[in-house]
Structure 1
Amino acid sequence: MNIRLPMQCLRYASVAALTTAAWWFHADLSAPDACLDMGGAFDYARWLCDIEGIEAHAYIDTPITALPSFPVFATCLVAYVAMRMRPVRARRGAPGR
């Protein structure tokens, strides 16, 4: 069986997963600013936007590693890099196949 097609599908899947995870991670990072721009109050403890802005929430410095999307993004990034770091001989097909 030719291994080229499954590996190419895996490569495309890793790109799609990385793109989706990066979009989610970016959305998490920009959530406080987007909420405040809309006139809401951002709850840093629950990482949610209070759009009505009735209650003022205290600012809590949250590291990016504490965001729920960070481990997903990091895992997808490692998978993508692993797919790209395969030896050249393995990507081209070993001689004699």
Structure 2
Amino acid sequence: MNVLHEWTILACEELGIDPARVDRDQILDLTKEVAHGVARPAAPLTAYLLGLAQGAGTAPEDAVAKLTTLAKNWGDQRTQTLTDG
């Protein structure tokens, strides 16, 4: 068992989450895109915000895909936001 898998299992147990509901690779891919496309500190913040939205039942089904796309297009989005305001 690798450390990441073991950590995921133990953290899920501590939080009362079924580990089968956690798509670790999908979250790691999301945070990689955010860290590289936006800023490193934005990666854990994004994961936290996603968790809050899912816990509150407000995250859309494709929330991870939407956030990944947002991170990949961050330069374009940022330029657009700066010129709109």
Instruction: Return the TM-score normalized by structure 1.
Output: 0.27
Greater strand proportion: 1
Greater helix proportion: 2
Q: Whose relative contact order is higher, 1 or 2, with alpha carbons under 8 Å and at least 6 apart?
A: 1
Larger radius of gyration: 1
Instruction: Return the TM-score normalized by structure 2.
Output: 0.30
